[in-house]
Structure 1
Amino acid sequence: MAVPAAASVRDANRYRPPQVSGLADLLDRQVRERSSARALVVSSERVQLSYRALAALADDVAARLDGAGLRRGDAVGLICANTAEFVVGLLGAARAGMVVAPLDPALPEPQLAARLAGLGARAVLFDTAVSGAVVLPVPAWPLRVDVSRAGTATVVLETSACGVPHVTAASAELSERDALVLFTAGTTARAKMVPLTHANVAASVQNICAAYELGPGDATVAVMPFFHGHGLFAALLASLASGGCVLLPERGRFSAGTFWDDMRAAGATWFTAVPAIHEILLDRSEREHPGPRAPQLKFVRSCSAPLNTATQRALERTFGAPLLSAYGMTESSHQATSEPLPQRGALRQGSVGRPTGVAVRVTDGNGRPCPAGVEGEVWVQGPTVARGYLADGEESARTFVGGWLRTGDLGTLDGDGYLSLTGRLKNLINRGGEKISPEHVEDILAGCPGVAEAAVFAVPDAVFGQRVGAAVVVRDGDGAGRAEILRYCRDHLAPFEVPDRLEVVTALPYTAKGGLDRKAVQARYAR
């Protein structure tokens, strides 16, 4: 079954998304029409930066990059946390015609160097507050934004003549049409480079703004890191394109201890996060949620990993706002589907919503559309989908087929076009021929009283090939033990799905993106 993009645009006459062509003109309309409106709230003093001030800083960076000998279409790395330096560096490089590659500042220096070399970046901008002195294979230029309490700001960017020659690396495949190169999750050797054009960026931002009707009256707190698509597209770019405001937490990182103070300071109307962060906020809500003093939220968004239904409903009761699940990936410029705002459609239990500006279909093993309700691989097609991977023709040919992105995710579409995810093809556990979705077992475990988190993995077995293993984190004081958890599993799972091995652990490993680190789980617990 396939659902066209048009099916997700009901009531389109009620809202018009911002008109942008990419990163370079993202601020232009706001500068023309609302130049003094706040764009960012930054620093520990929570100083407001206007659209006029932000555009001036970006133009300053663009001029300095032009003067350093960089050319349009050159790749430039960006190593910053969620700081003013990231935003100014990103938009400044884009306005100069560069292709920006955001990198996780927490990566070890050898990994940063390997990614920059593989890309063929000609220079890298970095924030000394998070990266310190870096030694990299390309010119590394420290970037600092000084902001006064009055809201005036200046850029300090130490560039030098760019003497690095153009190299025959992945950047040879880039052009002025490209805006970003994002790295998929994985090790340095396996992380794939995804080129996204300005047209991809514009379509993604427009789709996100339309899905949530974001406008100048909206504000959010940057919870997710900007070096991944979730934080970059959903929180930062969509907010700026729609004329909203983004508060950047102190030191550029999410802090549960200051989150609600940040939300009040921003006058936030929404926020987006991964389920792990939602769980943290929920667990701390009894002592930290401000109750009637909390800002009135239009909605809360969850993406990048499955959110179990019990947690979703508990969050809605606590936050007093609908929690909307969304689905996307780097190769689709982040969002592909989302649950609609309550006034625009019904919420479906276990669903990640309808397509937002793209076409989605569920296919069988031969690439043929499945009927409604039948499980298959999720494919996505539309203006947000990347053209392939840089310097990896073999993987591109496997993943991008006839204009469609093969996501590797398993799911079903119902008769109204709502997508439900059931797992990952590569994660399936094969227990004597029975195919088991670890995500499904995790969802059941999460519903067990006393269980805070769960990770399910394959345990090698000489008889069945694989057995089901699980690691669970138990909430403090709830007293849920191994016997009680297994009893709950036997009551809610098929016999072959019940974990053969169950370990109660203090914490589970997560990736920088905020998703469960399944490789680390497998290495730690499957032996």
Structure 2
Amino acid sequence: HSAPGAAQRTAADTAAPRTASDAASDTVPRTASDAASDPAPRITSSLSAADALVLFTAGTTDRAKMVPLTHANVAASVRGICAGYELGPADATVAVMPLFHGHGLLAALLAPLATGGCVLLPAQGRFSAHTFWDDVRAGGATWFTAVPTIHEILLERAAREYPGPRVAPLRFVRSCSAPLSATTGRALERTLGVPVLSAYGMTESTHQATSQRPPGRGTRKSGSVGRSTGVDLRIVGPDGKDRPPGAVGEVWVRGATVTRGYLGDPAETARGFTDGWFHTGDLGSLDRDGELVLTGRIKDLINRGGEKISPEHVEEVLSGGPGVAEAAVYPVPDATYGQRVGAAVVTRDGAGPDAEQILAYCRDRLAPYEVPDRLEITRALPHTVKGALDRQAVAERYAH
């Protein structure tokens, strides 16, 4: 059906991808033991009939790598997303994420179609803040998923453009592909009147690995990205041993959604995989309930005279400051300390805090060595095509 204002609504039918339709026949994720007992072929030099598609990693801090995903990987991912959010034929969404990455393809398109739901595709094929709420109304959206940048844009424009809670029967909003600040999450919940659920995933796990659950499916813990949606999780220390509950280490994942390796790149495959476990490069901890809390990327850590600083942690604090819309933290080369902390900040329209006011806010909430040595207020920060902060571009633009 044609939607007002130039958008198209697509219902699941016989043209839906077979892997997605097959996944919908059983919306309960496989157990961890099932996932572990069904490994994909350990060949990464070529493709086979088992492969469904190849996606590229984001490549924001390193060169992009090719990730082969099998039909079984895709089906397991769709099954986990559908079950985790209890998607069904009555659900509808607006697909604002690009379909050439897992977030848009798996979560926004295949999962809702697999359960007989509807997907509205924006007329221009991408997110437009100007038409978003018209699209939500036209599609009767019950949920939508996006990166934090899009959530922040919607929140920034809400006073002028959000038409109110009766615009559509939203029951939740999903956030994935980058850390969502607690400040943005709480503000979005207050504005929309529905829970904002954080999820965690990567191309190598066919998108989603963990997610917070909808209301009634358990307590949502602040700062968590939820529990597994069908994979095994480990937190591994530098010594290669598992860390106890609450301790920080590298997040490893294994299961039916995890790729067998990188296509045509045996060296990177050897570095990134051990006995089916993918080394995510993310730092985090698991509590006794299986809730995952992320603390940053290993490659992004800033080493200031031996003190290891998480840019994500400093960004979280900066983003909570009065008048701050978005923040990016990066290492600044330094002859004495090796690296210092730099920050670029985007302020909200009309807010106008200056650099010293922002730094004063940070001094009350960060360790002295974490407080940015350099802070620049800018009009906009560079992002990837899927809306995540482009850290390589940030460093190239501001660090020198």
Does TM, normalized by the shorter one, top 0.5? yes
Q: Name the amino acid aligned to 2:92.
A: A
Are 1:318 and 2:191 an aligned pair? yes
Query: Do the aligned partners of residues 476 and 385 (structure 1) sit closer, same or farther apart at CA in structure 2, a change above 3 Å counting?
Result: same
Deviations 1:386-429 (A, max 9, x none): 00000000000111111101000000111111101000000000
Are 1:275 and 2:163 an aligned pair? no
Three-state SS of the structure 2 residue aligned to 1:496 is: helix
Q: Which residue of 2 aligns with 1:215?
A: 88
Are 1:479 and 2:352 an aligned pair? yes
In structure 1, which of residues 191, 198, 219 is the aligned counterpart of residue 64 of structure 2?
Answer: 191
- For 1:177-188, list aligned pairs within 5 A: 177-186=50-59
Query: Do the aligned partners of residues 204 and 283 (structure 1) sit closer, same or farther apart at CA in structure 2, a change above 3 Å counting?
Result: same
Three-state SS of the structure 2 residue aligned to 1:293 is: helix
In structure 2, which of residues 187, 204, 208 is the aligned counterpart of residue 335 of structure 1?
Answer: 208
- For 1:350-499, list aligned pairs within 5 A: 350-499=223-372
| Displacement of 1:475 | 1.1
1:42–1:249 Cα contact (<8 Å) kept: no
Structure 1 residues not aligned, in runs of 5+: 1-39, 59-90, 96-169
- For 1:70-149, list aligned pairs within 5 A: 91=17
Aligned counterparts of 1:494 and 1:468: Cα–Cα separation in 2: 12
2:95–2:121 Cα contact (<8 Å) kept: yes
Query: Do the aligned partners of residues 464 and 292 (structure 1) sit closer, same or farther apart at CA in structure 2, a change above 3 Å counting?
Result: closer
Q: Which has the higher contact order (CA 8 A, sep 6+)?
A: 2
Q: Name the amino acid aligned to 1:319.
A: L
1:41–1:266 Cα contact (<8 Å) kept: no
Aligned counterparts of 1:281 and 1:423: Cα–Cα separation in 2: 25
Query: Do the aligned partners of residues 229 and 41 (structure 1) sit closer, same or farther apart at CA in structure 2, a change above 3 Å counting?
Result: farther
Three-state SS of the structure 2 residue aligned to 1:454 is: strand
Q: Name the amino acid aligned to 1:357.
A: G
Instruction: Give the 4+ runs in structure 1 shifted more than 6 A.
Output: 40-43, 92-95
1:218–1:244 Cα contact (<8 Å) kept: yes
1:42–1:250 Cα contact (<8 Å) kept: no
Aligned counterparts of 1:271 and 1:438: Cα–Cα separation in 2: 28
Three-state SS of the structure 2 residue aligned to 1:196 is: strand
Q: Name the amino acid aligned to 2:248.
A: E
Aligned counterparts of 2:274 and 2:301: Cα–Cα separation in 1: 23
Query: Do the aligned partners of residues 41 and 240 (structure 1) sit closer, same or farther apart at CA in structure 2, a change above 3 Å counting?
Result: farther
| Displacement of 1:366 | 2.1
Three-state SS of the structure 1 residue aligned to 2:52 is: strand
Query: Do the aligned partners of residues 386 and 43 (structure 1) sit closer, same or farther apart at CA in structure 2, a change above 3 Å counting?
Result: farther
Aligned counterparts of 2:73 and 2:18: Cα–Cα separation in 1: 19
Deviations 1:225-280 (A, max 9, x none): 00000011001010111110000001211111110110011010000000000000
Q: Name the amino acid aligned to 1:489.
A: C
Query: Do the aligned partners of residues 434 and 226 (structure 1) sit closer, same or farther apart at CA in structure 2, a change above 3 Å counting?
Result: same
Aligned counterparts of 1:41 and 1:365: Cα–Cα separation in 2: 55
- For 1:211-250, list aligned pairs within 5 A: 211-250=84-123
1:94–1:179 Cα contact (<8 Å) kept: no
Three-state SS of the structure 2 residue aligned to 1:186 is: coil
Q: Which residue of 1 aligns with 2:175?
A: 302
| Displacement of 1:301 | 0.2
- For 1:2-13, list aligned pairs within 5 A: none
2:92–2:141 Cα contact (<8 Å) kept: yes
Three-state SS of the structure 2 residue aligned to 1:344 is: coil
Deviations 1:350-404 (A, max 9, x none): 1100011111111101221101111100000110000000000000011111110
1:42–1:49 Cα contact (<8 Å) kept: no
Q: Which residue of 2 aligns with 1:76?
A: none
Query: Do the aligned partners of residues 93 and 360 (structure 1) sit closer, same or farther apart at CA in structure 2, a change above 3 Å counting?
Result: closer
Query: Do the aligned partners of residues 488 and 245 (structure 1) sit closer, same or farther apart at CA in structure 2, a change above 3 Å counting?
Result: same
Deviations 1:288-314 (A, max 9, x none): 111143212111000000011011010
Three-state SS of the structure 1 residue aligned to 2:187 is: helix
Query: Do the aligned partners of residues 524 and 48 (structure 1) sit closer, same or farther apart at CA in structure 2, a change above 3 Å counting?
Result: closer
1:302–1:323 Cα contact (<8 Å) kept: yes
Query: Do the aligned partners of residues 436 and 509 (structure 1) sit closer, same or farther apart at CA in structure 2, a change above 3 Å counting?
Result: same
| Displacement of 1:186 | 2.4
Query: Do the aligned partners of residues 352 and 216 (structure 1) sit closer, same or farther apart at CA in structure 2, a change above 3 Å counting?
Result: same
Q: TM-score, normalised by structure 1?
A: 0.69
Three-state SS of the structure 1 residue aligned to 2:74 is: helix
Q: Which residue of 1 aligns with 2:399?
A: 526
Query: Do the aligned partners of residues 465 and 267 (structure 1) sit closer, same or farther apart at CA in structure 2, a change above 3 Å counting?
Result: same
Three-state SS of the structure 2 residue aligned to 1:280 is: helix
Deviations 1:96-144 (A, max 9, x none): xxxxxxxxxxxxxxxxxxxxxxxxxxxxxxxxxxxxxxxxxxxxxxxxx
Deviations 1:16-53 (A, max 9, x none): xxxxxxxxxxxxxxxxxxxxxxxx8679554555544x
Structure 2 residues not aligned, in runs of 5+: 22-42
2:12–2:117 Cα contact (<8 Å) kept: no
Q: Which residue of 1 aligns with 2:35?
A: none
Three-state SS of the structure 2 residue aligned to 1:397 is: helix
Are 1:174 and 2:47 an aligned pair? yes
Deviations 1:189-210 (A, max 9, x none): 9211000000000000000000
Q: Which residue of 1 aligns with 2:218?
A: 345
Aligned counterparts of 2:2 and 2:205: Cα–Cα separation in 1: 29
Three-state SS of the structure 2 residue aligned to 1:312 is: helix
1:221–1:263 Cα contact (<8 Å) kept: yes
Aligned counterparts of 1:204 and 1:411: Cα–Cα separation in 2: 22
Aligned counterparts of 2:377 and 2:105: Cα–Cα separation in 1: 35
Q: Name the amino acid aligned to 2:392.
A: K
- How many residues in Structure 1 have an aligned counterpart in Structure 2? 379
Q: Which residue of 1 aligns with 2:126?
A: 253
| Displacement of 1:341 | 1.0
- Tell me the percent identity: 67
